[in-house]
């Protein structure tokens, strides 16, 4: 009989083996499920790295970034920028530490611990589906901004995922190439804070009118708060939102140990205060100069100079540094001087226009001439050009110019919102007197101040270099200089009688008249004749040497404008720019050597490499002794002639030489003034020559232009930081053989000249 099996017998080996295999399968499945995504992710990353258009090392080390060209004054101040993006890079050490701390505390708390990707933040973002905050590190955000910011804005979900993977790779590469500090600087220099404020330097200036290294804690927190969304947290459009966001940043700074609890409690109660100063190409100092520099010089320079890659420089993107000769202090003083005088002068002119039938045009101008002036101005206007370009008919254009339109117009009391027809607005603007002023150092040729008009926003045309106007009696010193050059003395006496000069027409002579007959018939020294701007004597000198010799002398002192070699040239019939006139007269103050007026000293690239340095050309025109004689002649204009009001009205008692000028009908008023270290010139007149004062008292150069020069030099002399001589013009080392005290040769005492009369130049007819 078979023996029974024990109930304690172990299970068979077959059953145990199955359980073991099940465990092995489970482990394999677990590792498969765990590793597959990782391996897939690695494969994708390797695929992106090898086969996509990721930036190479060269691009990462030298990323393409638009940088503004910056224009600097001679005293190191920023005058303005030319840009596609208003960005100027700043080094890490020049960024306020509060900005750095705020950025790390708010955007990437473990920034110093990771190498481009923050694993903890990534896991948190995945688990919470992004509700606990994003996973992008500062380095990843930089990668996005630098290489596909615009693409990400229109990308689909799938494209954005692919871009995100690329950002991770780029971030890791950036961390290998740059230090943590360099990455922070790159980020802050790249970020667009809106309102043409790209980068921390521009945003500090635009929002707080300060520099990137001088921000207060609460200011730094506000700017960093914008980094999440510059539109949503914009302090100008949404100040309440910006305040809340600023306080969140301050909280993060306290949480991460950058602020104490006491500091945080104090700062969060502060109101949101900005000093908003948006930058535009129509604002700031030296606008006329900067526009001439940009449009007439730098564009051409960039086209003619190539970068190492063979491409021409881009004025708006390559971050050039332009070092100019403009002195920021003198530039401000020149603009203030013009505003001070032109505000008063325009008030006088407006009173004079009230009773004019043809206002603002002279009563002598005929209706058909006014119609031609207005139609010409209409066709030059942007409105006309835009309508014509859009295909509007002439009838439609004419109707538009007669239709009332809402517009903002200029006034010296501030811009005015009004409703006018475009034709009425043209006539309104015709009634404003325009002006130009320039000052330069005669020894260096460096232009220190350049004011091309009364308001750049409303009147773009430059009256320093672009405009040429009839110069009147300011041309006379060139005629007298020719006589001095030929050995005449300042005390030589000339009969003050009418002089006639033959013209090309055999049967015709040119016989100019004096502006008054006070000194007619007397013997006048050259010095007194120039001081009183006597036409008879000037014509006499012209007759001795001829027009061709006068033209040649003017060319030698830098006058490049067209000059007709005719007798009337001696009284200033030529149209010449203020730029040329100041440069030419500087020859006398520079001991007889003409030096080219200069406004740039050097140009550097974005890294500070000098691309070009500028040295003005020069030439000797007359000896030092004869140049000093000319200065002595022109000092008489200020001491007892047409420029004497500089003494008794403006209390400028330093050595000054000069010359006033007034053209026919008071259309142009001029004053050129020389001091040992600085020569300045001013012009005032209407846009059209038919817009002018009817009386000489208000319309002469001494009334229209001289005050700008006076106000400017009052300010310059009062500024102790500007080293400008108040001493006499330096005498030649060789002994002067000619007598400079001409008063004993005059037939009568030389009283202060009556400022009610000036050098009006009736040119006669050729």
How do residues 63-94 score in pLDDT, each as one tens digit? 667 888 999 999 999 999 998 888 888 999 99
DSSP state of 283: -
Residue partners of 662: CB distance under 8 A and separation at least 6 = 472, 473, 668, 669, 670, 696, 699, 700, 701, 702, 704, 758, 759, 760, 761
pLDDT digits (tens, 9 = 90+) for 525-551: 999 999 999 999 999 999 999 999 999
Per-residue pLDDT band for 735 (boundaries 50, 70, 90) equals confident
State the SS3 of 299-340: HHHHHHCECCCCCECCCCCECCEEEECCCHHHHHHHHHHHHH
Out of 157-161, 206-210, 321-325, 636-640, the most confident range is: 321-325
Residue 433 φ/ψ, nearest 5 degrees: -75, 135
Q: What is the mean pLDDT of residues 674-696?
A: 96
* Contact (CB, 8 A) for 329 and 399: no
CA distance 429 to 27: 88
Q: Say if residue 5's pLDDT is above 50.
A: no
| CATH ID of 58-62+87-278, from 1.10.3810.10, 3.30.1360.120, 3.30.1050.10, 1.10.150.570 | 1.10.3810.10
Which has more pLDDT, 675 or 743? 675
Bridge partners of 449, per DSSP, are 439
| Domain parsing of the chain, residue ranges | 58-62+87-278, 328-430, 469-595+617-745
Of 143, 139, 185, 138, the residue nearest 166 (C-alpha): 143
Contacts of 281 (CB under 8 A, 6+ apart): 80, 82, 291
**Pick from 531, 534, 551: nearest CA to 479:** 551
Burial class (CB in 10 A: 0-12, 13-18, 19+), 450: buried
Query: Is 174 exposed, middle or buried, given 0-12, 13-18 or 19+ CB atoms closer than 10 A?
Result: buried
For 716, the token pair is 């310059």
Mean per-residue pLDDT over the chain, rounded: 87
pLDDT of residue 764 exceeding 50, the answer is no
Three-state DSSP class for residue 608:
coil
Query: Average pLDDT, stretch 709-728?
Result: 96
Alpha carbon of residue 187 to chain centroid: 28
Quick one: what percent of the chain has pLDDT higher than 70? Answer: 83
Alpha helices by DSSP H, listed for 391-442, are 394-401, 422-430
Phi and psi of 184, rounded to 5°? -60, -45
What 8-state DSSP symbol labels residue 92? G
pLDDT at 708 over 60: yes
Q: Is-contact 755 643, C-beta < 8 A? A: no
In this predicted model, what pLDDT tens digit does every residue of 349-386 receive, in sequence order?
999 998 888 899 998 899 999 999 999 999 999 999 99
Asked if CATH classification 3.40.710.10 holds for the domain at 469-595+617-745, the reply, yes or no, is yes
User: Could you report the per-residue pLDDT of 300-350, keeping only the tens digit for each?
Assistant: 999 999 999 999 999 999 999 999 999 999 999 999 999 999 999 999 999
CA distance 528 to 547: 23
End-to-end CA distance of the chain: 161
Bond into 360 cis (ω within 30): yes
Q: Strand 321-324 to strand 69-72: parallel, antiparallel, or no bridges (unpaired)?
A: parallel
pLDDT at position 450 over 50: yes
Strand partners, 67: 318
């Amino acid at each position: 009989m078979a023996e029974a099996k024990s109930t304690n017998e172990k299970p068979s080996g077959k059953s145990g083996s199955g359980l073991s295999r099940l465990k092995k399968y489970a482990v394999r499945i677990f590792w498969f499920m765990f590793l597959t995504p990782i391996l897939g992710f690695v494969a994708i990353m390797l695929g992106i790295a090898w086969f996509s258009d990721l930036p190479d090392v060269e691009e990462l080390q030298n990323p393409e970034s638009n940088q503004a060209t910056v224009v600097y004054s001679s005293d190191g101040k920023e005058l303005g920028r030319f840009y596609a993006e208003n960005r100027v890079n700043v080094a890490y050490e020049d960024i306020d530490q509060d900005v750095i701390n705020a950025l790390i505390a708010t955007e990437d708390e473990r920034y110093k611990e990771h190498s481009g990707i923050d694993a903890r933040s990534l896991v948190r973002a995945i688990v919470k589906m992004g509700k606990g905050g994003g996973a992008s590190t500062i380095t990843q955000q930089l990668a996005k901004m630098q290489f596909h910011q615009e693409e990400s804005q229109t990308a689909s979900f799938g494209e954005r995922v692919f871009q995100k993977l690329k950002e991770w790779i780029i971030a890791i590469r950036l961390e290998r190439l740059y230090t943590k500090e360099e990455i922070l600087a790159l980020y802050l220099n790249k970020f667009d804070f809106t309102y043409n404020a790209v980068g921390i330097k521009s945003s500090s200036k635009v929002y707080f009118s300060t520099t990137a290294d001088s921000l207060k804690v609460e200011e730094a927190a506000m700017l960093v708060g914008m980094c999440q969304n510059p539109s949503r947290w914009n302090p100008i459009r949404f100040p309440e939102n910006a305040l809340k966001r600023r306080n969140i940043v301050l909280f993060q700074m306290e949480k991460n140990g950058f602020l104490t609890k006491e500091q945080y409690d104090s700062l969060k109660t502060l109101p949101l205060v900005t000093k908003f100063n948006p930058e535009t190409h129509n604002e700031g100092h030296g606008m006329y100069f900067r526009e001439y520099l940009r449009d007439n010089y730098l564009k051409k320079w960039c086209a003619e100079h190539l970068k190492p890659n063979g491409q021409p420089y881009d004025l708006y993107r390559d971050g050039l540094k332009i070092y100019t000769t403009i002195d920021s202090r003198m530039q401000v003083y020149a603009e203030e001087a013009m505003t001070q005088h032109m505000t008063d002068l325009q008030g006088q002119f407006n009173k004079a226009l009230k009773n004019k039938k043809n206002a603002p045009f002279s009563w002598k101008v005929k209706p058909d001439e006014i119609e031609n002036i207005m139609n010409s101005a209409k066709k030059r206007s942007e409105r006309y050009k835009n309508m014509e370009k859009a295909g509007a008919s002439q009838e439609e254009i004419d109707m538009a110019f007669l239709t009332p339109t809402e517009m903002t117009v200029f006034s010296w009391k501030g811009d005015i919102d009004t409703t006018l027809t475009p034709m009425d607005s043209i006539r309104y603007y015709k009634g404003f007197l325009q002006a130009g002023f320039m000052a330069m150092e005669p020894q260096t040729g460096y232009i220190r101040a350049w004011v091309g008009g009364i308001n750049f926003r409303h009147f773009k045309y430059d009256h320093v270099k672009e405009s040429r106007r009839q110069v009147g009696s300011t041309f006379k010193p060139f005629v007298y200089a020719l006589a001095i050059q030929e050995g005449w003395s300042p005390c030589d006496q000339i009969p003050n009688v009418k002089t006639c000069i033959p013209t090309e027409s055999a049967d015709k002579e040119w016989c100019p008249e004096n502006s008054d007959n006070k000194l007619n018939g007397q013997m006048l020294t050259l010095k007194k004749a120039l001081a009183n701007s006597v036409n008879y004597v000037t014509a006499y000198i012209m007759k001795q040497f001829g027009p061709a010799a006068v033209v040649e002398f003017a060319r030698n002192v830098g006058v490049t404008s067209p000059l007709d070699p005719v007798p009337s040239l001696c009284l200033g019939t030529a149209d010449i720019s203020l730029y040329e006139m100041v440069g030419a007269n500087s020859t006398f103050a520079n001991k007889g050597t003409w030096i080219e007026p200069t406004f740039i000293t050097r140009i550097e690239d974005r890294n500070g490499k000098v691309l070009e340095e500028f040295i003005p050309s020069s030439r000797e025109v007359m000896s030092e002794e004869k140049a000093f004689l000319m200065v002595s002649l022109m000092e008489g204009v200020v001491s007892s002639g047409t420029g004497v009001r500089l003494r008794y009205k403006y209390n400028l008692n330093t050595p000054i030489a000069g010359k006033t000028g007034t053209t026919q009908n008071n259309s142009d008023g001029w004053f050129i003034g020389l001091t040992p270290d600085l020569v300045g010139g001013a012009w005032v007149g209407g846009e059209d020559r038919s817009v002018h004062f009817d009386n000489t008292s208000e319309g002469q150069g001494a009334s229209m232009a001289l005050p700008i020069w006076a106000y400017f030099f009052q300010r310059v002399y009062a500024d102790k930081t500007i080293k400008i001589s108040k001493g006499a013009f330096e005498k030649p080392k060789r002994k002067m053989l000619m007598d400079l005290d001409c008063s004993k040769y005059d037939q009568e005492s030389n009283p202060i000249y009556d400022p009610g009369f000036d050098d009006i130049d009736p040119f006669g007819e050729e």
